[in-house]
Structure 1
């Protein structure tokens, strides 16, 4: 399956439906890398470890630059400015959905000759990532 068609949508606490964020160009890996916790005793001949809590890593989404009144940039910047926790839904083309709540920050990229301006949405998770499998 190609990544083409992946969407990201946002919902504030008072809203009942998700609003699709337009201009999405790149999505991060979703999931966790559990920390390996050393649990070796003095009697062990080799190191023993167990998996600890997970680290989702950096959740950074890249978007095409648009700054009109109804742009995703302005919606995300407004949420970033208030440090509000909002709900996100990332959807794959096959219908798989990933739900999570996060705080966000928005940063505009630099530029250069023949380079498109874009912005990055960085998320700080506030909940676990819940995977919803497609039913069909």
Structure 2
């Protein structure tokens, strides 16, 4: 069966309006974490397993396990938000996360979070990050809003 795609040229999508939310249950109530500043690259490449033999004239490989790496989301610092997240998000517990974009794309995953206060410098706003140790695939889905 031949691959048939019905793709069209895009106009681009801004990250304005992107948000991340968390829940302790997959079907539970998700709470948005405010003041998101940066969303990391989401996805991964499989490790390459070398299957080259001495008869080959080029290196050959097959895909192995996909390495999604860790995700790091950056937030504008708020003392109250930082302290509440630090108190309530256990760095040994898996939570359910959703990243939603303005065009309706949703990226869902399970991850263990770790909070980290960023360093600062002259003329910089204080930020903190939530680094995610992924425990599942990142699953894309869509809402009915947007394109």
Whether TM-score is above 0.5 comes out as yes
Gaps of 5+ in 2: 1-12
Query: CA-atom RMSD, angstroms?
Result: 1.8
Contact 2:75-2:127 within 8 A present in 1 as well: yes
Write the distance in 1 (CA, Å) between the matches of 2:28 and 2:70: 28
Matched length: 133
Match of 2:127 among 118, 131, 136: 118
Q: Does 1:37 align with 2:46?
A: no
Rg larger for = 2
Contact 2:40-2:73 within 8 A present in 1 as well: yes
Write the distance in 2 (CA, Å) between the matches of 1:94 and 1:88: 18
Q: Partner of 1:88 in structure 2?
A: 97
Q: Does 1:108 align with 2:117?
A: yes
The 3 A distance-change label for structure 1 pair 135 and 14 is: closer
Q: Partner of 2:37 in structure 1?
A: 25
The 3 A distance-change label for structure 1 pair 90 and 107 is: same
Where 1:77 maps in the other structure, the secondary structure is helix
Write the distance in 2 (CA, Å) between the matches of 1:94 and 1:38: 40
Write the distance in 2 (CA, Å) between the matches of 1:14 and 1:54: 23
Contact 1:31-1:129 within 8 A present in 2 as well: yes
Q: Deviations over 1:98-127 (max 9, x none)?
A: 111110111101112211100011000111
Gaps of 5+ in 1: none
Contact 1:79-1:104 within 8 A present in 2 as well: no
Q: Does 1:64 align with 2:76?
A: yes
1:17: how far off?
Answer: 1.2
Q: Partner of 1:49 in structure 2?
A: 61
Q: Where does structure 1 differ by over 3 angstroms across 4 or more consecutive aligned residues?
A: 79-82
Alignment TM-score, normalising by the size of structure 1: 0.89
Contact 1:63-1:118 within 8 A present in 2 as well: yes
Write the distance in 2 (CA, Å) between the matches of 1:113 and 1:2: 29
